[in-house]
């Protein structure tokens, strides 16, 4: 399942406008805040797909039956760019557990790159709803590497991906390899350059959120 929020009007389109806009996106706190807002909104949409059970609640004046979720959620952030999205989801799903995966591209001098996986920490994923947060889904290589890295942590009930912008190529790749994964994308852009940059995209989300990084 793929949800492309840009195909219908909602406040997500305003968030996308500000995230893409070169005259706005360099305001670092605003950029991070927009990522968090996106995470909260998409978290609400994901919550509609979860399992709920009837439970009695006692108020000061009486009691009633309401629906509460009994799903366990693990939010997995692909560092470092996925952190604001994860924070937004945590503001909504504050009962969720959290995990962190270091997955990044290491550029070579010839213009090619490797996906480096240096670190992972997360709770058991057995029969839980796993939600990955990664703002840019260019090729799907980092997500694929992350999925393979967590396979020893248990079999999730469901796997979701929350991303700001994905390329058409990455969507096709992820759907081919992980047909049951649910993808929630702010927008899906057509072009992917030879260096695996999404066009028009928005730039380097990690740098815009946290500052330019140095690679050695």
Would 60 be classed as within a structural domain?
no
Site of tokens 């928005």: 202
Would 81 be classed as within a structural domain?
yes
Q: Quick one: pLDDT at residue 105? A: 67
- Containing domain of residue 106, as a range? 2-51+69-210
Would 8 be classed as within a structural domain?
yes
Spatial distance between the Cα atoms of 55 and 100, rounded to a whole number of angstroms: 33
Q: Quick one: pLDDT at residue 107? A: 64
Q: Quick one: pLDDT at residue 118? A: 79
Would 63 be classed as within a structural domain?
no
Would 179 be classed as within a structural domain?
yes
Alpha helix (H) ranges present in the chain?
11-20, 28-47, 83-92, 141-149, 168-177, 205-210
Q: Quick one: pLDDT at residue 111? A: 61
Residues in contact with 1: Cβ distance below 8 Å, sequence separation at least 6, in sequence order? 182, 183
Would 62 be classed as within a structural domain?
no
**0.75 surpassed by pTM:** yes
Question: Closest Cα partner for 159 from 189, 137, 180, 133?
Answer: 180
Q: How many domains does the chain have?
A: 1
Residue numbers of the chain with a pLDDT score lower than 50: none
Would 204 be classed as within a structural domain?
yes
Q: Quick one: pLDDT at residue 195? A: 81
CATH number reported for the structural domain that contains residue 94 in this entry: 3.40.50.2020
Q: Quick one: pLDDT at residue 113? A: 63
Residues in contact with 113: Cβ distance below 8 Å, sequence separation at least 6, in sequence order? 105, 106, 107, 195, 196
Would 76 be classed as within a structural domain?
yes
Q: Quick one: pLDDT at residue 216? A: 53
């Amino acid at each position: 399942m793929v949800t492309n929020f840009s195909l219908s009007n909602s406040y997500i389109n305003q968030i996308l406008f500000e995230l893409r806009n070169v005259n706005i996106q360099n305001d670092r706190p605003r950029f991070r805040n927009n990522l968090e807002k996106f995470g909260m909104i998409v978290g609400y949409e994901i919550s509609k797909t979860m399992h709920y059970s009837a439970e009695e609640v006692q108020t000061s004046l009486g009691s009633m039956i309401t629906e509460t979720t009994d799903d366990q959620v693990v939010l997995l952030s692909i560092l470092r760019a996925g952190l604001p999205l994860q924070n937004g989801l945590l503001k909504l799903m504050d009962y969720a557990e959290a995990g962190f995966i270091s997955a990044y591209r290491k550029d070579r001098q010839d213009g090619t790159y490797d996906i480096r996986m240096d670190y992972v920490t997360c709770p058991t994923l057995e029969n839980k709803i796993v939600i990955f947060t990664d703002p840019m889904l260019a090729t799907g290589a980092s997500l694929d590497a992350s999925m393979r890295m967590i396979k020893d942590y248990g079999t999730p009930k469901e796997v979701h991906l929350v991303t700001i912008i994905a390329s058409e190529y990455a969507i096709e790749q992820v759907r081919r390899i992980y047909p049951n994964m649910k993808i929630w994308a702010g927008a899906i852009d057509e072009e992917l350059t030879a260096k695996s940059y999404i066009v028009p995209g928005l730039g380097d989300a990690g740098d815009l959120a946290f500052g330019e990084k140095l690679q050695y």
